[in-house]
Amino acid sequence: MAVNISAAEGPCYKYKTSPAIGKFKRSMCDYLGDLNDEFDVICTGAFIFDHQDRILLIQRAASDTWPNFWEVPGGACEVSDSTILDSLVREVWEETRLIVTRIFSAINDGGKMLSSRKKLRILKYEFEVEVERTDVIRLNPAEHQTFKWMTAEECQLAYDGGGNCSSKVQFTSEYQASTVLESFRQRKERKSSTFN
C-alpha cells in the first residue's frame, strides 16, 4: 500500500555512484553527440530492491499508453537534466517519490535500441539503484495505478519467455521482463563478490 508522505518539492541529487558508470555522468545531448546523433533520446529505468531482495514493479495507469502493464520506474531524459544519472534520479522521484541514494551499475551497459510509436529512436539504459526508504511510495495516478514488490521467483513465474505473463503481472515488453530477471542475477553476483 502506498504511503502518503510530505516529500520534498523535487528529487535529491546527492547520490553515490560506482566508477563503472562514469560515462553516464554527462548530459544526454553530449552523450548522443558522441554517437553521431544516431538516437533521438535516452531513456532510463531503475531496478529498486527492498531489504528482502524483492524488486519494485509499477503498473501503468488504465488511461495511459500500455494500460495496466508492469514496468520498473523510469522514463526519458530531458535536455534540462545535468546528466543521464540525474535523469534517472528525477524519473524515480517523479514516478514513486523515492529518493535515490546510490546507483550501482548499468544492467545493460551497451544500452538497448528501441523505437517509439512516434518513430523516435531511443537508447535505453537501466540501472540498479538504492533508495533512502522503500516504505514511502507515492505514485502519480495519471501514470501508474499500483505497485508490487516481487521476488526473482515470482518474476520468473510471471514471465513465460515470450513477453507474456501467466499471472497477474504482464510486463510492457519482453525486453522489460528479461532485464528484470537479469537485474536479479547481476544483483546476486554483485552482492556475493562484495562479501568474498
DSSP bridge partners of 74: 45
The predicted pLDDT at position 162 comes to 47
Q: Are 25 and 17 in contact (CB under 8 A)?
A: yes
The predicted pLDDT at position 68 comes to 95
pTM exceeds 0.75, yes or no: yes
Q: Are 18 and 106 in contact (CB under 8 A)?
A: no
The predicted pLDDT at position 168 comes to 74
Phi and psi dihedrals of 94, rounded to 5?
Answer: -65, -35
- Determine the length of the chain: 196
What pLDDT digit, counting tens, does each position of 55-79 carry?
999 999 999 988 999 999 999 999 9
Per-residue confidence band for 86, with pLDDT thresholds at 50, 70 and 90: very high
In whole angstroms, what is the distance from residue 186 CA to residue 15 CA? 21
Phi and psi dihedrals of 129, rounded to 5?
Answer: -130, 160
The predicted pLDDT at position 139 comes to 97
Domain ranges across the chain: 16-194
Residue in the block written with cell 526473482: 152
Q: Are 171 and 159 in contact (CB under 8 A)?
A: yes
- Give me the CATH topology for the region 16-194: Nucleoside Triphosphate Pyrophosphohydrolase (3.90.79)
Q: From residue 6, how far is each of 43, 48, 56 by CA, in Å?
A: 28, 21, 21
The predicted pLDDT at position 193 comes to 79
